[in-house]
Amino acid sequence: MITTILILLPIAAALAIWIFPWRSQRAAGSFALLVALAELALWVGTALNFDFGATGLQAEADVTWFSDLDVAYQVGLYDYSLWLIGLTAVVTAAAVGYGFWSGRERLGVYLSLLLFLEGATIGVFAAQDLVLFYVFWEAMLIPLYVLIGVWGGPGRLGATYKFVAYTVAGSLLMLVAIIATGLDAGTFDMTQLGGQGTSTWIFLGFAAAFAVKAPLWPFHGWLPDAYRESPPEVAAVLSGVISKTAAYGFLAIAIPFFPGPAEDWRTPLLVLASIGLVYGSLLAFRAPDVRGVIAYSSLAQMNLILIGIFAVNASGYTGALLQMVNHGLISAALFLLAGAIERRTSTGELSLLGGMARGRPVLATILITTGVIALAVPGSTAFAAEFLVLNGIFDIGWGWAVVGAVAIVLAAMYMLRLISAVLHQEPGSAVPAEALDLRPAEVGVIAPLVAVLLVLSFWPAAITERVFGGIF
Amino acid sequence: MDVLAWTALFSPAVAVVAIALLGERIDRRSAGLLASGATFLSFVCTAALFFQLLGREPENRSILSTPWTWLTAGDLKIGASVLIDPLSVFMMLVVTGVGFLILVYAIGYMDGDDEERRYHAYKALFIFSMLLLVMAGNLLLLLAGWGMVGLSSYLLINYWHQRRAAVEAGKKAFVMNAVGDATFVLALFILVQQTGSLDFSTVFAAAPDALGDGSTLAVLVALGLLGGAVAKSAQVPLHTWLPDAMEGPTPVSALIHAATMVTAGVYLIVRTSPLFELAIDVQELAGILGAVTLLMAGLIALVQTDIKRVIAYSTMSQIGYMFVGVGLGAYGASMFHLMTHAFFKALLFMAAGLVIHALSGEQDIRKMGGLARELPWTYRAFLVGALALAAIPPFAGFFSKDAILSSLIDQGSLGWILWGVGIVGAFLTGLYTFRLLFIVFFGEPDPYVREHLHRERFEGPLSMMWPVGVLAVLSIVAGFLQVPEQWHLVTEWLDPVVESVPEATGGLALFSILASLGAATGGIAVAWALYRRPGDRPAAIRARLPWAANALEHKLWWDEAYDALFYRPASQVATWLLGRIEGPIVLRSLGGLGTGVRDVSDRVAAAQTGRVRGYVLALAVGLAVLAIVFLVVA
Amino acid sequence: MLGPGIAAYLILSVVLFATGAFGVLIRRSPLIILLALELMLNAGNLALIAFARQLGNADGQIFALTVMVVAAAEAVLGLGLIVAVSRKRVELDVDRLTSLRG
């Protein structure tokens, strides 16, 4: 029941905003913000009541949909999906908060789309039936299409087109794979499907969809434009949460259901992910704008997460999941900060920025803190996760770990470049002297994300002790 | 006991958070008092821990405290553990003691700076990180402290972030340290794979069986750790960041780049000596790298014209001595030298800071001179530091450097070679140190000095002067902790943790002492001859060896080499990828699809000519074909 | 059975059909094409009626009546189009009337 509420509350709120005649857009927006916070509270309650010692599905709901094909509305929570849902709730709350404060046009509709997206994403993480999973997977696309296509920047149409075309191409392959799997096994119930699949083609069908969404190199053609043209809070959700659904897909579906093909394809997938890690880091090092750096850094981090998943061992999986949560928070914070910078300077071009630290201590502190956690400085939670991932992949082959170690140095290079280009030396030509420090509202939205990261840096075991119980 | 340890560790951290959150609500001086007060509290706790350890039997002096689990994955479990043993307490005393003095000094030095609170917060963050490093009970937490120390260093080097040089120096320091972190982490993977843990006790106990003596794995582990140590301690080949780090304020240079952070590499090797002893070749490599650094840095220091850069290269050189020591197993002697070096090097930096402060920020020694008359107290402090550095008895440096040198003698041919290098190094040390002293403090004051020197009643604020005084006293007396053949307090204190090789005794020891003393006084004498009075002799020597002077002035072109080998290729590859691969191939890939589809459809549409007769003909032909097929098939 | 055998009717039908088809393919004036089309249709009618007579079955005759209706309707449409086109003073040449092109 609670799972269904977690999924449907944001969707119902979105519908309510669309249908009811609201007094003003701002009133509708306030309602949306309230719902986002309520959802977060609901998740906290669920987490507190969750039994992390038990293995298996919790908070289950099972209602038959097509009995002849054994398709059901079946949802439930595992320990790892609980954390991912929590990430969704936190990042969406921050995004809605930021969107509310920055006052987009037609605010109510805008925020309601974010809520709808939240509901669909939670559905993806909670679904235990393949058809239901597919429904929610596609449902994520609709609000994103509108959000980027209507509220995006100057190049939004091309960005949206590319994003949708790539994603749908992958999802259609996954649909074929799902149908084949379900008909083959006689059921679409995910809890019963583990470990039997042997078909390479079906595995690749699933992998195609997840590879495009993650994105795994070289399927990332949609990423730079989508991240650049989206409004900051949409980019935060896109990079922070939606990309994790793809990693979740690998982790919960593709690899467990098809262990044989996964093992066969492990090396090619690792090659692609390793290339993506280094490629993303190098491109982030030379990207000319703030969003570009964050986008390519995101590409690199997602590929790192995939490396952990492809290791298929305790260390790799745990590290990957921890990094999923970390990167979700980091990416969201960075995109919201990018939004703050763009508000003040109307540009993201690094050559036009600089010297923003002077007189803006809050901005400087939060940007530096987020930045050093992002580059996984030893002592941070991102480092703990990266250590586990690389430790896991070291067992598979030491070469992959060496590539990861190189990426550690590259991450330092690109992140420090970003920090310095924005904050240090003389004020850039686009930085007006009267540009303000971070306002209390902005701090109120971004600081909690950073605070969670700091808490996790002190205690990463908060998550790592409470995942994959019983699997490893 | 646990409470004391955790208080010592977290007291500076609390100070950082407090300063950050209170922001402009406290005045600047209070921020400084908060930071230094927190450090003093750590020092007091550490002293208490020290006395508690003293009260125990030597075998019983290792206490591990793990209040919570930091990280887990499957079978791997890493606790948030703190280890209190003679080695960690020794380092804690140095860090908190010298750190406290420097933080107090900084209150005066940074007074009036625009963002002073930020400075004190960063300093406190550094103390916390360094304490975490030396107190960590497992390798991962040590690496965490290691990384945060690098972070604090970055934040403090580019403290004056409006200056391009400072920003670049900070990035360079961090990235080079990151290279060390990368090799460190690879060593940790091997250890996890072979021993299943990263706790010191578990790993050291399991290592001989799990890794094997002299095996490839043991060598790789040691190399990985050595890579980290070399980066952090600015030894060849990862040393180029240290001179640039002088862009930071002088108290930063004193604390981080002389007394504490750069010694972390030495601490690491001592702490993980059981692992290094399984790969003796790598351990000796550490000694060799130390020797190379020792010489190279000593030579480069001879031509430097910035007062802080001379002292920086001197630091590099002295840490080379420590590496030489640990390379051949003289752990006690190296830690002893670490301690005395912290005292006199911090003293030198702080005295230099007084000079810079008096000259309103000038650091070029060619614009100084005759300051002994103008700043007599500073001069005397500097002299004490210089004598300690040059290892003249009874100053501290003599005893500690001698301890290392006499430990090298009886250790085979490598020992003798390194000893020889050490003696040459002693000569160079005397030479460059007193060159600096003479140029800055003797002779006639440069015109610049006459214009810019501002003297108040005291040579500097009180908060700057008394820490200098304390350090001067320590530089004089601390040496007596280890007197050859009488007592070896430091080595004995550290014995439960690491067993050091014995020092030479009798005639050999005396020979070593006389040789090093001779070399040092020789260096001072040459400096006296060349630099006591302004003259042409230095220029004449430079004219005779132009290539040598050129090479040294370019710091042997290490920076240029790294730029060409690593930075520029990385940048070029990245730019090329961005332009040639990402742009055309990845971003425009779907565009190709779209135009391709349109092409095909254009071609197909060409069949629609609009001519009725064509359509009819097609109809007729098709019909005929169908009819024939039907007739034939049927 | 009165009159010539069915073969004669069929041959005549084929000749008429071929003539009509030839006309549709070769001629350029829409009017003549329509004429030729009528020829083809009536050729088909002839064949239908011949077979109906031979089989003694009225189905063929009814089919032929239907075809005549369709032919009439189509002639109306075709002539209407031709009149409309000629009103626009466009040349009545089928090779020139190609606006509905792909």
User: Cβ of B180 under 8 Å from any chain A Cβ?
Assistant: no
* Interface probe with C: pick from B603, B616, B619, most Cβ of C within 10 Å: B616
Least Cα distance to B8 among B63, B45, B52 occurs for: B45
Q: Which of B190, B571, B577 sits opposite A279 (nearest CB)?
A: B577
- Do residues B315 and B257 touch, judged by C-beta distance below 8 A? yes
Q: To the nearest whole angstrom, how far is the Cα of A9 from the nearest Cα of chain B?
A: 34
Residue B609's pLDDT is: 82
Which residues of chain A neighbour B590 with C-beta distances below 8 Å? 161-162, 165-166, 221
- Closest Cα of chain B to C33: distance in Å? 10
For residue B629, name the pLDDT band (cuts at 50, 70, 90).
very high
Whether B73 and A391 lie within 8 Å, measured CB to CB: yes
pTM of the model: 0.87
Between β-strands B63-73 and B76-84, what pairing exists: parallel, antiparallel or unpaired?
A: antiparallel
Banded pLDDT at B457 (limits 50, 70, 90): low
**What distance in Å separates the CA atoms of residue A409 and residue B180, rounded to the nearest whole number?**
9
Q: pLDDT exceeding 90 applies to what percent of chain C?
A: 65
Rounded Cα distance, C16 and C22, in Å = 10
Give the residue-averaged pLDDT of B546-557.
79
How far away is chain C from the Cα of B632, in angstroms, using its nearest Cα? 21
* Residue range B409-425, pLDDT digits in tens: 878 888 889 999 999 99
Q: What is the pLDDT of residues C18-66, one digit of tens each?
A: 999 999 999 989 999 999 999 999 999 999 999 998 888 899 999 999 9
Using the predicted structure, report yes or no on whether residue B546 has a pLDDT greater than 80.
no
**What's the token pair of residue B63?**
């206490």
State the pLDDT at residue B454.
67
Residues B135 and B82: beta-carbon distance below 8 Å: yes
Complete DSSP assignment for B434-466: HHHHHHHHSSSPPHHHHHH----SSSS-HHHHH
Which residues does C contribute to its contact with B (CB < 8 Å)?
A: 21, 24-25, 33, 94-95, 97-102
**Cα angle vertex B160, ends B157, B165, to 5°?**
70
| CA B268 to centroid of chain Cα atoms | 12
**Inter-axis angle of helices B396-408 and B307-327, nearest 10:** 40
How many Cα atoms within 13 Å fall on the side-chain side of residue B452?
17
Evaluate whether chains C and B are touching (3 or more beta carbon pairs less than 8 Å apart). yes
Both structure tokens of B99: 């750190």
Task: Report the pLDDT averaged over residues B238-262.
Answer: 89
B-interface mutation test, from A272, A409, A443, most B Cβ less than 10 A away: A409
Return the domain boundaries, chain C: 7-87
Please state, as a whole number, how many other Cβ atoms lie within 10 Å of the Cβ of residue A24: 10
Q: Is B565 exposed, middle or buried (0-12, 13-18, 19+ CB in 10 A)?
A: exposed
Task: Return all residues near A308 (Cβ < 8 A) that are at least 6 apart.
Answer: A316, A317, A319, A320, A323, A388, A389, A392, A393
Q: Which amino acid is at A170?
A: G
Q: Is the Cβ pair B610, C102 closer than 8 Å?
A: yes
Q: What pLDDT does residue A168 have?
A: 93
Separation between Cα atoms, residue B311 and residue C58, nearest integer Å: 122
| pLDDT at residue B550 greater than cutoff 80 | no
Which of B605, B609, B616 lies at the smallest CB-CB distance from C24? B616
Q: Do A394 and B589 touch (CB under 8 A)?
A: no
As a whole number of angstroms, the distance between CA B596 and CA B634 comes to 43
Phi and psi, residue B557, nearest 5° = 55, 25
User: What is the model's pLDDT at position B460?
Assistant: 67
> Least CA distance to B590: which residue of chain A?
A162
**C-alpha torsion sign, points B314, B315, B317, B321:** positive
- Model pLDDT for residues A59-92, shown as the tens digit of each residue: 888 888 888 888 889 899 998 999 999 999 999 9
Q: What pLDDT was estimated at residue B86?
A: 92
First to last CA, chain B: 103
CB–CB contact A398 B189 (8 Å): yes
| Both structure tokens of A7 | 């999924």
Closest to A382 (Cα-Cα) out of A446, A312, A452? A452
CB A329 within 8 A of CB A397: no
Neighboring chains of C (3 or more beta-carbon pairs < 8 A): B
Say whether pLDDT at B209 is over 70: yes
Report d(CA A267, CA A254) in Å as an integer.
15
Question: Which pLDDT band, with edges at 50, 70 and 90, does B227 fall under?
Answer: very high
Of A166, A412, A424, the CB nearest to B178: A412
Contact C24 B611 (CB under 8 A): no
Per CB-CB distance under 8 Å, the chain A contacts of B74 are 313-315, 318, 472
How many separate domains does chain A show? 1
The 3-state DSSP class for residue B410 equals: coil
Asked if the bond preceding B237 is cis, omega within 30° of 0, the reply is: yes
- The interface residues of chain B toward chain C in range 609-628, judged by CB-CB distance below 8 A, are 609-613, 616-617, 620
* C-alpha to C-alpha distance for A104 and A243, rounded to whole angstroms: 24
Total Cβ atoms within 10 A of residue B413: 7
Quote the CA–CA distance of A292 and A370 in Å, as a whole number.
Answer: 17
What pLDDT does residue A339 have? 94
Q: What is the pLDDT of residue B458?
A: 59
Contact yes or no for A270/A264 (Cβ under 8 A): no
Nearest to B178 among A315, A317, A409 (CB): A409
Distance CA C9, CA C11 (A): 5
Q: Which of B598, B611, B621 to mutate to test the interface with C (most CBs of C within 10 A)?
A: B611
- Checking if the pLDDT of B613 tops 70, the result is yes
Q: How far is C82 from chain B (nearest CA, A)?
A: 14
Query: Domain for residue A49, yes or no?
Result: no
Interchain pair B605, C102: CB under 8 A: yes
Tell me the shortest Cα–Cα distance from B608 to chain C, in angstroms. Answer: 5
Report residues of chain A scoring pLDDT below 50: none
Q: What's the confidence (pLDDT) of residue B478?
A: 86
Which residue, among B180, B115, B146, has the nearest Cα to A424 in the 3D structure?
B115
Nearest residue in B to A417, CA atom:
B171
Closest approach of A472 to chain B, Cα-based (Å): 6
Contact B170 A166 (CB under 8 A): no
Residues 76-115 of B with CB under 8 A from C: none
B572: which 2 tokens?
């070029």
Q: Could you tell me which of B119, B157, B149 has the C-alpha nearest to residue B131?
A: B149
ipTM of the complex: 0.92
> What's the whole-number mean pLDDT along residues B63-83?
90
Kindly state whether residue A237 falls inside one of the protein's structural domains. Answer: no
Among B602, B612, B616, B623, the residue to mutate for chain C (most C Cβ within 10 A): B612
Q: Touching B: which chains, 3+ CB pairs < 8 A?
A: A, C
Q: Å from A19 to nearest chain B CA? A: 37
Model confidence at B459, pLDDT cuts 50, 70, 90, reads low
The answer to whether residue B508 neighbours chain A at the CB level (below 8 Å) is no
Asked if residue A282 is part of any domain, the answer here is: yes
The confidence score (pLDDT) of residue A470 equals: 62
Round to whole Å and give the CA distance between B222 and B287. 13
Within an 8 Å CB–CB cutoff, is residue B162 touching chain A? yes
CA C43 – CA C20 distance, rounded (Å): 9
The pLDDT assigned to A415 comes to: 95
Q: Check whether B580 has a pLDDT greater than 80.
A: no
Nearest CB to A357; choose among B132, B161, B570: B161
C-chain residues near B609 (CB < 8 A): 98, 101-102
Would you state the pLDDT for residue A331? 96
Averaged pLDDT, B144-156: 94
In angstroms, what CA-CA distances link A34 with A9, A28, A115, B202, B203?
Answer: 11, 10, 11, 51, 52
Which tokens in the block code for residue A163? Answer: 């994003």
Q: C11: which residues sit within 8 A by CB, 6+ positions away?
A: none
Q: Is the pLDDT of residue B463 over 80?
A: no
Structure tokens given for A130: 């393949």
Residue type, A96: V
Query: Looking at residue A199, what is its pLDDT?
Result: 87
Q: B175 to chain A: which residues are within 8 Å by CB?
A: 409, 412-413, 416
> CA of B601 to nearest chain C CA: how many angstroms apart?
10
Range of weakest confidence among A232-241, B253-262, B481-490: B481-490
What is the Cα–Cα distance from C10 to C98, expressed in whole angstroms?
Answer: 37
**Which one of A166, A220, A368, A391 would you mutate to disrupt binding with B, by most B Cβ within 10 Å of its Cβ?**
A391
Nearest to A113 by CA among A225, A222, A172, A36: A36
Cα–Cα distance between B460 and B377 in angstroms, integer?
A: 10
Instruction: Report pLDDT digits (tens) over C74-96.
Output: 999 999 999 998 898 888 888 88
Most B CBs within 10 Å, among A278, A281, A282, to test the B interface: A282
Q: What percent of chain B has pLDDT over 70?
A: 96
Q: Residue A371: what pLDDT?
A: 95
Architecture per CATH, domain C7-87, reads as Orthogonal Bundle (1.10)
**In the predicted model, is pLDDT for residue B294 greater than 60?**
yes
Instruction: Report the gap between the CA of B195 and the closest CA in chain A (Å).
Output: 13
Residue B579 CA neighbour count, 13 Å, CB half = 6
Q: Map tokens 């499957």 to a residue.
A: B74
Q: Tell me which of B185-194, B608-617, C26-35 is least confident.
A: B608-617
User: If you average pLDDT over every residue of chain B, what do you get?
Assistant: 88
> Looking at the predicted structure, is the pLDDT value of residue C2 above 70?
no
Instruction: Please report the number of interchain residue pairs, chain B to chain C, with beta-carbon separation below 8 angstroms.
Output: 30
Q: What is the pLDDT of residues A308-332, one digit of tens each?
A: 999 999 999 999 999 999 999 999 9
Domain hosting A336: range is 265-472
How far apart are the C-alpha atoms of A452 and B588, rounded to whole Å? 38
